Amino acid sequence: MSRIAYVNGSYVHHASAAVHVEDRGYQFADAVYEVVAVLNGKILDMEPHLARLSRSLQSLQIAMPMSDKALSVVLNEVKRQNRLRNGILYFQVSRGVAAREHGFPDGSISPSVVVTAKRLNFDAIKEKQKTGISVKTMVETRWARPDIKTVCLLANVLAKAEANKGGATDAWFVDHNGMVTEGTANNAWIIKGSTLITRELSNDILAGITRSSLLEVAEKEGLKIEERSFSVAEAKAADEAFITSTTNFVMPVVSIDGQKIGDGKPGSICQKLIKFYWNYLEN
């Protein structure tokens, strides 16, 4: 069955889905997006993703294109038409189509909305969780508001490409104080003793939905949590490390800049967190 996308009110074949050449998302990255996971036919964490979309749109002064209820209907319909049982739904809202000028028309254009679906093999993710990933640290090169989930991801793309070229799976950005901010598409965590440590929310990082959910799960399981900045040196000296994201859930980090974390294998607390989180998702 061919893939189906939603574009500005119509459900169309993915291969022919398109927006106008002067859409500001295409020309200026004047757009925001969200990605939700679909597990066993269920869309996960719909409400917090829609709430974050709304915050991002407000930050860029883009009007919400439809109500949360209407957008939920669209997302479920794209899921249904693609017969998506396990995978992701990507949805993007741009300011809309206008003559190419840096200044944008105030209220005179309608936002563009795109939704696509993609199948994922979550068994492959579970296998990767058994071995973990490697990361490379890099100087922060993104704009000053990564807390807004815009499609302006060129710095993220280049950082991941450089990490991959050096044999690492992903990159962790590091601010001018030598503190880790986050990964290219994920939140960064370390574990020291029995304490989970992740950077506090601010304009410096994205408020990850999986991050938030894991904090709730960890608290219920009685684990110690510190929301604070940590340095690259502290990360390399940690007992364990991991990332969280919509598509990785909880993924162990077993080396940073080529240096093993712990014994270079997913640690016991990471393994517990993975188990706890899968239970949370599946129940």
Residues classed as catalytic: 149
Distance (Å, rounded) from C-alpha 168 to C-alpha 163? 5
Distance (Å, rounded) from C-alpha 87 to C-alpha 100? 35
SS3 assignment, position 188: strand
| Strands 4-7, 42-43: pairing kind | unpaired
User: Taking the C-alpha atoms of 235, 197, 191 and 128 in order, what is their torsion angle to the nearest 10 degrees?
Assistant: -90
Residue 236 to residues 193, 244, 253, 255: CA-CA distances in angstroms?
Answer: 14, 18, 11, 8
Residue 45: Cβ-neighbour burial (10 angstroms; 0-12, 13-18, 19+): middle
Please, which residues have CB within 8 angstroms of residue 133's CB and are 6 or more apart in sequence? Answer: 168, 169, 170, 243, 251, 252, 253, 254
- For tokens 């038409």, the residue is 81
* Spatial contact of 131 and 253, defined as CB atoms under 8 Å apart: no
Residue 45 to residues 41, 97, 145, 196: CA-CA distances in angstroms?
Answer: 13, 30, 23, 22
Distance (Å, rounded) from C-alpha 218 to C-alpha 191? 12
